[in-house]
Amino acid sequence: MKPLGRHVLAEIYGCEFDILNDIKKVETIMVNAALEAGAEVREFVFHKFSPQGVSGVVVISESHLAIHTWPELGYAAVDVFTCGEKVNPWDACNYLTERFCATHMAAKETERGIIPPGVVPPVAVNQ
């Protein structure tokens, strides 16, 4: 069976402090990463922490992109989950790595929604 989605967890290192600590820059880069991957952006929300750091999520028709930054460490933890075949989560991760001026990205992909043999999905019932 084909997976329902692809989930990439990326560790992005060596990023520029001034980018990771700027909520507007992180927001713009994240939204553009979703678009670069071919996703349809629905909405987004970001929060700036004190004294530093940004967290946020971009909701896309195909699932989501999420980020948590540690500017003082030059590090961003990124989560890109896409459903369907149109959107490539690796395109988003590579875009983020480039735009954060990172020196290194380590990432792994997990296929989501693969129903194991013998498991019968529930049948939806209209109520």
CATH of the domain at 59: 3.60.90.10
Choice among 63, 64, 101, 104 that is catalytic: 63
**SS3 call for 65:** strand
**14 assigned to some structural domain:** yes
For residue 47, indicate whether it is catalytic.
no
The pLDDT value recorded for residue 78 is: 98
For residue 101, indicate whether it is catalytic.
no
Choice among 68, 93, 101, 104 that is catalytic: 68
Cα-Cα-Cα-Cα torsion 10, 11, 13, 19, nearest 10 degrees, comes to 60
**55 assigned to some structural domain:** yes
Q: Which amino acid is at 56?
A: G
The segments of the chain whose pLDDT lies below 50 read none
**125 assigned to some structural domain:** no
**126 assigned to some structural domain:** no
Residue numbers of the domain that contains 57 = 5-112
Neighbour-count burial of 80, counting CB atoms closer than 10 A to its CB (0-12 exposed, 13-18 middle, 19+ buried): buried
**123 assigned to some structural domain:** no
Choice among 7, 15, 64, 83 that is catalytic: 83
pTM: 0.90
**27 assigned to some structural domain:** yes
**117 assigned to some structural domain:** no
**73 assigned to some structural domain:** yes
Number of domains the chain is built from: 1
